[in-house]
Amino acid sequence: MTTLRAAVPQSAAPDGAAEKDSPLRIDLLRIAEWIEPGSRVLDLGCGDGRLLDYLQRTRQVRGAGVELDDERMIAAVRRGVRVIQQNLEEGLALFDDRQFDTVVLSQTLQSMHHTEHILREMARVAHYGIVSFPNFGYWPHGWSILRGRMPVNEQMPYQWYDTPNIHLCTLRDFQDLAARLGLRVTHLATFRGEREIHWLRGWRSQLAVYRFKSPDGGRA
């Protein structure tokens, strides 16, 4: 049964319940750069709402988040973020076509059971989509496999038996899928830790962030 609950904050918590944040991650800062000021943004798997809070304060976006976890949803509301509680695997049927300018799916794609479906839904509800995921092509991963072990690092910290990551891919894998779905990649940024990688990205980066244009939407 679908769990759906919209939580709309009335005001910021007066008692400082949302404690002082650490700086926004470098990949989230790059995502923010790709979002037009004043635009409509949907953040899927928004977690504690940190990205949407930043976008609302610095780029004046009109945003909403989708999150399943109770504690993360409450943390997002305390930041002044409007949140809908829903399992992303059930799709985005509650949103209209082109209801948003940009939809974000940050470091969640690899844990989705229905990868193609969520990408198609992102393209339906927004003109642009932004996704990020760990790059399985990162060269130490191959070394780990040659040693007979699944990769474990700061970007993929789980053991093989308890990982939520079920659809790992390389940069080329994602680009091939995007092309097959008619999604035109407009921007790519790759990172290793807090450092942006500009050459041999498929081999040297741990995290990839893509911006794509929906097949029949977008302005540039």
Residue with tokens 């509650």: 94
Question: Which residues fall within 8 angstroms of residue 42, CB to CB, at 6 or more apart?
Answer: 63, 64, 65, 66, 95, 99, 100, 102, 103, 104, 125, 126
| Cα 124-181-87 angle, rounded to 5 deg | 50
Beta carbons of 41 and 35 less than 8 angstroms apart: yes
* Phi then psi dihedrals of residue 144, to 5 deg: -60, -45
pLDDT tens track, the chain, 220 positions? 333 334 444 444 433 434 456 789 999 999 999 999 999 999 999 999 999 999 999 999 999 999 999 999 999 999 999 999 998 988 899 999 999 999 999 998 988 889 999 999 999 999 999 999 999 888 777 767 777 766 666 666 656 565 666 778 999 999 999 999 999 999 999 999 999 999 999 999 999 999 999 997 645 4
Q: Where are the domains of the chain?
A: 22-135+168-213
Compute CA distances 115 → 33, 88, 89, 108, whole Å: 25, 11, 9, 10
Q: Which fold has domain 22-135+168-213?
A: Rossmann fold (3.40.50)
pTM of the model: 0.84
Q: What is the DSSP string of 50-66?
A: HHHHHHHHHS--EEEEE
